Amino acid sequence: MAEPVTAQALQERVDGFLAGHDPAGDRLEFLRARFDAGLAWVHYPVGLGGLGAPRVLQPVVDQRFAAAGAPDNSPRRIGIGLGMAAPTILRHGTAAQRARFLRPLWTAEEVWCQLFSEPGAGSDLAGVATRAVRDGDGWLIDGQKVWTSMAHQARWGILLARTDPAVPKHAGLTYFLCDMHAPGVEVRPLRQATGEAEFNEVFLSGVRLDDELRLGAVGEGWAVARTTLMNERVAIGGAALPREGGMIGVLARTWRTRPELRSPALHDEVLRLWVRAEALRLTGIRLRQQLAAGEPGPEGSAMKLAFAALTQQISGTEVELLGAEGLRHDHWRADRPAELDLIGRGPTYRWLRAKGNSIEGGTSEVLRNIVAERVLGLPAEPRQDTGADWKDLPR
């Protein structure tokens, strides 16, 4: 039996790696070598970028590399890949799929997007209408997806499609890895309140995918998608942050450096938000410790729910604190950004963009139902569509 990996052993392993790899050298080669050395995501299996170490030891590695000035893998650009696609491929993928996709995903050679929501299936994700029909040794995909972040940058997408309309909606789904460069994939920008087009709508017209791009068994797509959803909510709401990390840090710095903006009422509000942010941060630490023992559960929904409300209130308080100055937006160009950066933008952008936090990754209304039913054990909401075949449901 292999001895457990310790923090000290990881530090020594990182130091040994740095002795043989110059952080100032070729960025991509450095990241590839780090993955191959098992120092990418240390809790992943050996050979897939990890060492089978406890998840809670990941900051030990990241901090050691950061202190050495090593390049990162652009986590804001590949957040969907890191937080959603990778854990789903690890859990449900074949050995060949893991070997093919995980390394270029982590090194940011391939960007991923999420092809889940549709015009008629957002909160009710199991109602998706995008069809996947057998075509020899592959599948033909037809449908439309919407609110697809980073589709304009993506090389691959995680796709939920309907393979059998003649069974109840949850039973007729299959999960695919979609080639975003395949013929028939069309990405169109969706301009949002910030002025930018971070989101997209994606049209799939006769897109052919080989069966080797199917993730999980035919008809088991909902089980695979649940892995994605649980990890998505942890990725959005439970990110590892230092004290005063994230948006609360921006508000706190403004409060400290701009005394002329202060008032007793705002002092009370800033303090209240600071306490809530710190409580949420500590709860996130506890959640990640629980993850070390297994897969994400419904607790991640509670974290994402709290995160959405908090970021909206922090951004609103920041605009209120700055007054007219807080209403000056960076620009209204219809840019298509390569990554999401809340901290590096202005207060109006943060206030506008935060409105999406209660929609993306599961609406706050749906997450409240999940928390009520799966965490608190309250009775489920009455449903009329769970036993009927999808083809018979009104749309």
Active site residues: 232
Tokens of 165: 């309309």
Question: How far apart are the C-alpha atoms of 307 and 24, rounded to whole Å?
Answer: 36
DSSP E strand stretches across the chain: 112-115, 131-135, 138-145, 156-162, 173-179, 185-190, 199-210, 214-215
The closest alpha carbon to 89, from 112, 66, 119, belongs to: 112
Radius of gyration, CA atoms only, the chain: 22
The closest alpha carbon to 390, from 201, 146, 219, belongs to: 219
- Secondary structure (3-state) at 143: strand
Question: How far apart are the C-alpha atoms of 8 and 225, rounded to whole Å?
Answer: 37
Report how far apart, in Å, the C-alpha atoms of 219 and of each of 24, 124, 160, 208 are: 48, 18, 11, 18
Which residues fall within 8 angstroms of residue 373, CB to CB, at 6 or more apart?
379, 380, 381
The closest alpha carbon to 44, from 102, 4, 94, belongs to: 102
What count of residues does the chain have?
A: 395
Q: Are 50 and 103 in contact (CB under 8 A)?
A: no
Question: Beta partners for 179?
Answer: 156
The closest alpha carbon to 219, from 172, 170, 288, 167, belongs to: 172
Question: How far apart are the C-alpha atoms of 106 and 109, rounded to whole Å?
Answer: 8
- Considering only the C-alpha atoms of the chain, give the largest distance between any 2 of them, rounded to a whole number of Å: 70
